Amino acid sequence: MTIPCPLSDWQIHCARRTLFGGGVIAYPTEAVWGLGCDPWDQEAVERILELKQRPVEKGVILVASSVEQVRFLLDPLPAELRERALSHWPGPVTCLLPDVNEQIPAWVRGRHSSIAVRVSEHPVVRALCESAGMPLVSTSCNPAGRQPARHIWQVRGYFGEQLDWIVPGDLGGNRNPSRIIDIVTGQQLR
* pLDDT tens profile 134-153: 999 999 999 999 999 999 99
pLDDT digits (tens, 9 = 90+) for 2-44: 556 777 888 999 999 999 999 999 999 999 999 999 999 999 9
How far is Cα 41 from Cα 61, in angstroms, rounded to an integer?
Answer: 15
Q: How far is CA 22 from CA 6, 163, 168, 185, in A?
A: 24, 11, 19, 36
| pTM for the predicted model, two decimal places | 0.93
User: Is the pLDDT reported for residue 1 higher than 50?
Assistant: no
pLDDT digits (tens, 9 = 90+) for 84-140: 999 999 999 999 999 887 889 999 999 999 999 999 999 999 999 999 999 999 999
Residue 118, amino acid? R
Domains, the chain, in order of start with CATH, read 11-182 (3.90.870.10)
